[in-house]
Amino acid sequence: MSWLVLGLRTVSSSPCSRLPRLSSLLLSRTSSADMSSESHWLSPADRDQLVMELRATGWMEVEDRDAIFKELHFKTFNQAFGFMSRVALQAEKMNHHPEWFNVYNKVQITLTTHDCGGLSRRDIKMAKFIDKIALSMNLIWI
């Protein structure tokens, strides 16, 4: 099924109203996950606790940005691309897409919620999914 995007407008009822949203006249696919509290900024206490848990699996905070980062090394390009494909399928389901960079056997991933301009529960959920896939591929991070 394909969708046609006709225009953008700003919606002030959004928790992140400064960013454009698709017009209500658009044909769109939305789910309850898109509008859930998972896309809101984390409270400082929640952020500290959740990011601390992710540090144990190699995630780092990005300097001068409310985001987390991880670099993974694979044996081959095919293994790296397979990993990215698995993550991409989940990202589509979550409607939450990582920023990533791939050169041969290295994949660098940055997670942040652009709608809110910072970390949200969606980033934490995606990071945990990425770790699960990495573990299933017997990857070890430093």
In tens, the pLDDT along 13-31 reads 334 433 333 333 333 333 4
Residue 21 lies in a domain: no
Residue 29 lies in a domain: no
Which residue range forms the structural domain that includes residue 52?
A: 41-136
Q: At what angle do helices 121-136 and 44-55 cross, to 10 degrees?
A: 10
CATH number for 58: 3.30.1360.20
What the block records as the tokens of 125 is: 């959920």
| Predicted pLDDT of residue 38 | 61
Residue 123 lies in a domain: yes
Which amino acid appears at position 65 of this protein?
A: R
Domain count, the chain: 1
Calpha distance 125→133 (Å, rounded): 13
- Whether this prediction's pTM lies above 0.75 is answered by no
Q: pLDDT tens, 44-92?
A: 888 888 889 999 999 999 998 889 999 999 999 999 999 999 999 999 9
Q: pLDDT tens, 89-137?
A: 999 999 889 999 999 999 999 999 988 778 999 999 999 999 999 999 9
Residue 12 lies in a domain: no
| Predicted pLDDT of residue 139 | 78
Instruction: Report phi then psi at 10, rounded to 5.
Output: -95, 135
Query: Edge-to-edge strands of the sheet including 60-61?
Result: 60-61, 68-73, 106-111, 99-103
Residue 14 lies in a domain: no
Residue 59 lies in a domain: yes
Beta strands in 1-142 (DSSP E): 8-10, 20-22, 60-61, 68-73, 99-103, 106-111
Residue 48 lies in a domain: yes
| Predicted pLDDT of residue 142 | 55
Residue 129 lies in a domain: yes
